[in-house]
Structure 1
Amino acid sequence: MGLQETRIESLPFVTAELNYLAPISGKPRTYAFDPPPGEPKSTSLPEPHQVPIFDARLIANNISLDREGFALVRHPTQVKDFYNDEEVRAVYYPAVEAFLRATLKADRVVIFDHTVRRRVEGAPDIRDGGPRQPATRVHVDQTAVSGANRVREHLPDEADELLKGRVQVINLWRPIRGPLRDSPLAMADGATVAPEDLIASDLIYPNRRGETYSVKYNPNHRWFYFPEMTPDEALLLKCYDSATDGRTRFGPHTAFVDPTTPADAPPRESIELRTLVFHKQ
């Protein structure tokens, strides 16, 4: 049974502000470094909307990565220090790779990077300039173009053959400490997101240009979260799927300010792994 058949309105919810993309002429762009003189850091301006965000814990078993574009999983970890890159790569990477292969029935999983975030009140989100901050705009990490390009970027010698099969970009996101009460993630039900809601946006690096989706507001969007996640839990977030058979291909998500967060709640600490998932067809 999918969420379309579930009585969503009976679930607990919070009302919170989500930052969508404000109307813009031209393709939005954001610099991942100090922009050239006279250029703004970003042409993507936020358009905040108050929306209900439903507690999905009671319906977690009805949520499907293929249908809704996200899923809650139980995934205990042996990692002692997520701020230790060597330990993350030596211990966490192989464990997540094996977990995703089994969970998604994939032929191959390749982890291409990870990001640790620690919220610092008032701090900007600067790459290589202090702890990364929660991403507070509705977005999808990849697009129809950049998802396939990730394969060419990370596996250039195999890309042509791999792209003949089904390719996904899946993020595995988890809190480092919990229960998490500060800056949780909200996920949109992909079945409520229209293709025209997704706006390809340039992310400009010193040596390359990436592409993500910003998201326009649509009152049909339906949002969910899993309150008080523990370090033994993780979220699977679909950022790209080459399959075009009707399943959700892109899952919008964002951090948000939960109005029920206690004033003394510890700031959010989290880690996300970005992975290429391959299925032979």
Structure 2
Amino acid sequence: MGLQQSNIEALPFVTAELNYLAPTLGRPRTYAFDPPAGEPKTTALPDPRQVPIFDARLIAENISLDREGFALVRHPTRVRDFYDDKEVRDVYYPAAEAFLKATLKADRVFIFDHTVRKRVEGAADVRGGGPRQPATRVHVDQTDVSGANRVREHLPEEADELLKGRVQVINLWRPIRGPLRDAPLAMCDGQTVAPGDLVASDLIYPSRKGETYSVKYNPNHRWFYVPEMTADEALLLKCYDSATDGRTRFGPHTAFVDPTTPADAALRESIELRTLVFHKP
């Protein structure tokens, strides 16, 4: 049963501010390092909107990664310290790869990077300076162009053959500690996103240029979150899918300030893996 058969309006919800993309002249761009003299850090200006964000926990069994673009899964882990990069790569990567391969019935899964986040009041989000801050703008990590380019970048010798089959970029996102009450993740139902809502935006690194989707406000967007996620739970987020059969969708996401968060709640700590998921033709 899909969400179209669920009584969404009867679900509990919070009303919160999400940062969409304001109209800009030209293609938005953001520097992942200190920009050249005279250049702004980003040309993507926020368009904050108050929207209802519905409790997805109560209808989790009706949510499909291939339809809505996200899914809640149970995924216990043996990792003791997610701030230990070696332990993450030696312990978490293999377990997550096996989990995703089985869950998504994939032929192959390749993890190409991860990001640890720890919210610090008033701190700037600095790449390469320790844990990142939660991302507080509505976005999709990949575009139709950059999703395929990830295969060419990370698996160049096999790329031509792998791109003949179905390729997805799937993020595996989880709280490091739970229950998570501070800065939870909001996910947009991919069925409610129109192609014109997505704006390809440059993400500029010192040695390369990436591409993500910024997102324009659309009142038809339908938002969900999973309150009080535990450390044994995770979210799957579809960020790219080469399939063009009309069934597969991906949805934007963003951290947000939940107005019901207790003042003494622990600040958010989370980790996301970014993965390439392959199915043979």
Q: Cα deviations across residues 194-238 of structure 1 (Å, max 9, x unaligned)?
A: 011000000000000000000000000000000000000000000
5 Å-filtered alignment, 1:157-176, equals 157-176=157-176
Q: What secondary structure, in the 3-state scheme, does the structure 1 residue paired with 2:213 have? A: strand
| Aligned amino acid, residue 160 of structure 1 | D
5 Å-filtered alignment, 1:87-106, equals 87-106=87-106
Could you tell me the percent identity over the aligned residues?
86
Aligned to 2:65: 65
Aligned to 1:269: 269
Number of residues of Structure 1 aligned to a counterpart in Structure 2: 281
Aligned to 1:108: 108
Is 2:243 aligned against 1:243? yes
Shift of 1:99: 0.3
Aligned to 2:49: 49
Aligned to 1:32: 32
Q: What secondary structure, in the 3-state scheme, does the structure 2 residue paired with 1:123 have? A: coil
Deviant stretches of 4+, over 2 Å? 247-250
Shift of 1:147: 0.1
Q: CA RMSD in A?
A: 0.6
Instruction: Judge conservation of contact 2:144–2:240 (CA < 8 Å) in 1.
Output: yes
Aligned to 2:194: 194
| Aligned amino acid, residue 260 of structure 1 | T
d(CA) in 1 for partners of 2:79, 2:247: 33
Q: Cα deviations across residues 32-58 of structure 1 (Å, max 9, x unaligned)?
A: 000000000000000000000000111
Shift of 1:129: 1.9
d(CA) in 2 for partners of 1:217, 1:29: 18
| Aligned amino acid, residue 267 of structure 2 | P
Aligned to 2:179: 179
Shift of 1:25: 1.4
Q: What secondary structure, in the 3-state scheme, does the structure 2 residue paired with 1:65 have? A: coil
Instruction: Judge conservation of contact 1:112–1:276 (CA < 8 Å) in 2.
Output: yes
Shift of 1:246: 1.0
Aligned to 1:2: 2
TM-score where L is the length of structure 2: 0.99
Aligned to 2:156: 156
Give the gaps of 5 or more residues in structure 1: none
Q: What secondary structure, in the 3-state scheme, does the structure 2 residue paired with 1:25 have? A: coil
Aligned to 1:223: 223
Instruction: Judge conservation of contact 1:242–1:249 (CA < 8 Å) in 2.
Output: no
Q: What secondary structure, in the 3-state scheme, does the structure 1 residue paired with 2:142 have? A: coil
d(CA) in 1 for partners of 2:241, 2:130: 32
| Aligned amino acid, residue 86 of structure 2 | E
Is 2:253 aligned against 1:256? no
| Aligned amino acid, residue 22 of structure 2 | A
Is 2:11 aligned against 1:11? yes
d(CA) in 1 for partners of 2:131, 2:8: 36
Q: What secondary structure, in the 3-state scheme, does the structure 2 residue paired with 1:145 have? A: helix
Is 2:214 aligned against 1:214? yes
Aligned to 1:74: 74
Q: What secondary structure, in the 3-state scheme, does the structure 2 residue paired with 1:274 have? A: strand
d(CA) in 2 for partners of 1:245, 1:196: 19
Shift of 1:248: 3.5
TM-score where L is the length of structure 1: 0.99
d(CA) in 1 for partners of 2:83, 2:130: 12
Shift of 1:5: 1.6
Instruction: Judge conservation of contact 1:169–1:240 (CA < 8 Å) in 2.
Output: yes
Aligned to 2:280: 280
| Aligned amino acid, residue 183 of structure 1 | A
d(CA) in 1 for partners of 2:241, 2:9: 29
Q: What secondary structure, in the 3-state scheme, does the structure 1 residue paired with 2:100 have? A: helix
d(CA) in 2 for partners of 1:167, 1:252: 18
Q: What secondary structure, in the 3-state scheme, does the structure 1 residue paired with 2:150 have? A: helix
Shift of 1:250: 2.4
d(CA) in 1 for partners of 2:98, 2:78: 14
| Aligned amino acid, residue 224 of structure 1 | F
